[in-house]
């Protein structure tokens, strides 16, 4: 074994699914840079299939209905707080037709013009169009290529603590959550918008049925590997 290999950092990839707490996780990983680990936050376009078999990874997930609402306002606010990204033509049309997330969700599956436009909007707005399970196409058998851990956005502090306990000897890690919206990129939601209606939630659960099942499978994996 060479001297170089003895001191080579261990690469750990963060498979970054959009709107699942990634900016907050990146902030926490920055706190824990050390001589042993090289944490790599991957681009949203990188899927598990793109990683070499011998490289370790972890990822985060989010309840699909909550992720939908977050993604909707992330793009309606043009990426702010965070990095400004102006609307594409199709996004401008979508947000003019559906000024809030409930409008869009309630019009899904309607057999009329608005139903057609709602489907087009879902397929045109970034993050809404991608389901979390798509990051694991052809590689979803976690027993063959398991992650170190899975972090749920809803239980971020608890799950990332379990992740750190798996990799850090003597539990020597930092776990400070930022409240700075420019760092965490936490969305701003309209003050006058109520919760999603029952119809909206039912439509989203139908639209994201594969993702909801995938989320449940991940929760089962977490239960068995914590």
Q: Could you read off the pLDDT of 137-167 as tens digits, one per residue?
A: 999 889 899 999 999 999 999 999 999 999 9
Long-range contacts of 98-102 (CB under 8 A, 24+ apart): 100/190, 100/193, 101/68, 101/69, 101/72, 101/73, 101/193, 101/196, 101/200, 102/193, 102/194, 102/196, 102/197, 102/200
Q: Is residue 22 part of a domain?
A: yes
Report cis status (omega within 30 of 0) of the bond before 121.
no
Q: Is residue 226 part of a domain?
A: no
Q: Is residue 224 part of a domain?
A: no
Instruction: Report pLDDT for 3.
Output: 42
- Using DSSP, state whether 206 is helix, strand or coil: helix
Instruction: Report pLDDT for 195.
Output: 85
DSSP 8-state secondary structure symbol assigned to residue 49: G
Q: Is residue 102 part of a domain?
A: yes
Q: Is residue 3 part of a domain?
A: no
210 CB-near residues (< 8 Å, 6+ apart):
131, 133
Instruction: Report pLDDT for 2.
Output: 47
Structural domains of the chain, count? 1
Residue-range definition of the domain harbouring residue 140: 9-219
Instruction: Report pLDDT for 170.
Output: 82
- Helix extents (H) in 135-224: 156-167, 181-184, 198-207, 209-224
Q: Is residue 85 part of a domain?
A: yes
Instruction: Report pLDDT for 7.
Output: 52
Token pair belonging to 105: 């969700």
Residue 188 · residue 73 · CB < 8 Å: yes
166 CB-near residues (< 8 Å, 6+ apart):
148, 149
Q: Is residue 1 part of a domain?
A: no
Q: Is residue 4 part of a domain?
A: no
Instruction: Report pLDDT for 180.
Output: 80
pLDDT confidence bin for 215, thresholds 50/70/90: very high
Q: Are strands 150-152 and 56-61 parallel, antiparallel or unpaired?
A: parallel
Residue 58 · residue 149 · CB < 8 Å: yes
Q: Could you read off the pLDDT of 182-204 as tens digits, one per residue?
A: 777 777 777 767 789 999 999 99
**116 pLDDT higher than 60:** yes
Instruction: Report pLDDT for 192.
Output: 64
């Amino acid at each position: 074994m060479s001297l170089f290999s003895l001191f080579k950092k261990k690469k750990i990839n963060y498979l970054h699914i959009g709107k699942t707490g990634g900016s907050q996780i990146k902030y926490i990983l920055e706190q824990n840079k050390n001589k042993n680990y090289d944490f790599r936050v991957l681009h949203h376009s990188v899927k598990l299939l793109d990683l070499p078999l011998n490289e370790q990874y972890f990822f985060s997930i989010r309840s699909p209905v909550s992720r939908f609402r977050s993604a909707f306002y992330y793009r309606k606010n043009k990426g702010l707080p965070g990095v400004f990204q102006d609307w594409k033509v199709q996004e401008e049309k979508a947000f003019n037709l559906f000024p809030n997330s409930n409008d869009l969700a309630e019009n899904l599956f309607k057999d009329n013009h608005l139903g057609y436009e709602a489907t087009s909007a879902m397929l045109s707005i970034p993050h809404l169009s991608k389901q979390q399970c798509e990051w694991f196409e052809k590689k979803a058998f976690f027993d063959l290529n398991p992650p170190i851990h899975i972090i749920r956005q809803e239980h971020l502090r608890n799950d990332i603590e379990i992740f750190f306990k798996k990799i850090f000897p003597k539990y020597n890690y930092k776990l400070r959550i930022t409240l700075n919206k420019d760092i965490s990129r936490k969305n701003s939601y309209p003050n006058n918008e109520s919760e999603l209606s029952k119809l909206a939630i039912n439509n989203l659960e139908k639209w994201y049925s594969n993702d909801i099942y995938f989320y449940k499978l991940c929760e089962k994996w977490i239960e068995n590997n914590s």
